[in-house]
Structure 1
Amino acid sequence: MGVACAAWTGVHVPRTCLAVQAASVRRCEREREAGISYLKHPARCSYRGDVDVVRARSTGSGRKGVTMAAAEQTGSEQKKYVNAALDHVAINVKDAAAMVDWYESVLELEPVDLDAFLSKARPFPSVRLNECTILDFFPPSESDGDGADGDSAAKGNDAMNHLCMSLNRTDFDRIVANARARGVHFDQEHPVSRSGAMGTGNSVYLRDLEKNVIELRYYE
């Protein structure tokens, strides 16, 4: 059974295709360590397009609505970017514990090291976006570090415009409804079509507890 290609009508990519698996949005550290980059589709894969990236949506059990990207290597042509994954984003905050609670209760993100932070065993807490990426919340004492040792971070600036989370449609609708019920401020009433890392999707902007701008989006 294959996955329906969102870019090519009538084209299917088998779920077992390694090119699809390697470019999953839930790519893990072990894949990068193994050097997985642009894999040719195996002979059993029916996709033979000329484009570099195909967006596919799995309809298999347990993965419905998960958006993936499949990279096709054609001859000697390859994309001119490294196969990197985002490990973490550190945000300077006033109340780190309160921010973790907000991101857990509103955006359903799992807390990381909150108890250790509250017991002063860790300098900051985090929340998990996926298997490979977390958001760190730096309290004032941590955000003023110089990065000279392993217990402090280099001081950043306030240049972040917004943070975008890509969700499947079911999770998007549930989280947006939950946020509205909690009185969270949204910059618009309905989702708007905007471009993103995987093409054009539908998204909304909202503000977190400390007025940072968060974009929530889904791809069709």
Structure 2
Amino acid sequence: MDVRLDHLVCWVADQRRSLHFYEQVLGLPGVRTEEFRDGKAAFPSVRISAETILDLIAYDALKGVDEHTGVKGSSGHPINHFCLSVGREDFDALQVRLKQHGVEISGTATNIFGARGIAPEAIYFPDPDGNVLEVRYYD
């Protein structure tokens, strides 16, 4: 079976602020951003990879998401963190952008296991809503 991650839902208080963070600070391209800004899409997304997006869903949509999934009480549950892997050059450039935007790196790790084996280095930091991101690179 060939399984791939399609999307993640990230709960946010201010979708526009979060979209700015993920596009401008992390450098991820927006998906359906014009439709969202024009009121034609309920939420914006950002592209993590060719096959995976991150949906930025507002907390006030909790009831609708519960109804959509059919699992009552499933909406709004936080996850501990999610991890993005990038190339070494992008990893270094991201740290510069985080500093420029006043985003504090809250933790670091070395020689840490992940989907592609051992990553030599990783950083952790919060998005504007306190969702924790890990970014790492592999050799």
Structure 1 moving runs of 4+ over 4 Å: none
Structure 1 counterpart of 2:113, from 195, 199, 217: 195
Alpha-carbon contact 1:187-1:206 (below 8 Å) kept: yes
Q: Kindly indicate which of the two structures has a greater share of residues assigned to strand.
A: 2
Alpha-carbon contact 2:62-2:76 (below 8 Å) kept: no
Map 1:156-171 to 2 at 5 A: 156-171=75-90
SS of the equivalent of 1:176 reads helix
Distance 1:157 1:143 in 2: 6
**Gap change, CA 1:159 and 1:139, over 3 Å in 2:** closer
Distance 1:159 1:211 in 2: 10
Taking only aligned residues, the RMSD between alpha carbons, in angstroms, comes to 1.9
Map 1:6-155 to 2 at 5 A: 82-145=1-64, 146-147=67-68, 155=74
Alignment length (residue pairs):
134
**Gap change, CA 1:142 and 1:157, over 3 Å in 2:** closer
Give 1 or 2 for the bigger CA radius of gyration.
1
Shift of residue 205, structure 1, vs aligned partner:
0.5
**Gap change, CA 1:83 and 1:180, over 3 Å in 2:** same
SS of the equivalent of 2:68 reads coil
**Gap change, CA 1:122 and 1:112, over 3 Å in 2:** same
Q: Kindly indicate which of the two structures has a greater share of residues assigned to helix.
A: 2
Structure 1 counterpart of 2:98, from 158, 163, 179: 179
**Runs of 5+ unmatched residues, structure 1:** 1-81
Q: Tell me: higher relative CO, structure 1 or 2? Use CA pairs within 8 A at least 6 residues apart.
A: 2
SS of the equivalent of 1:109 reads coil
- Aligned residue type for 2:39: K
If the length of structure 1 is used for normalisation, what is the TM-score?
0.57
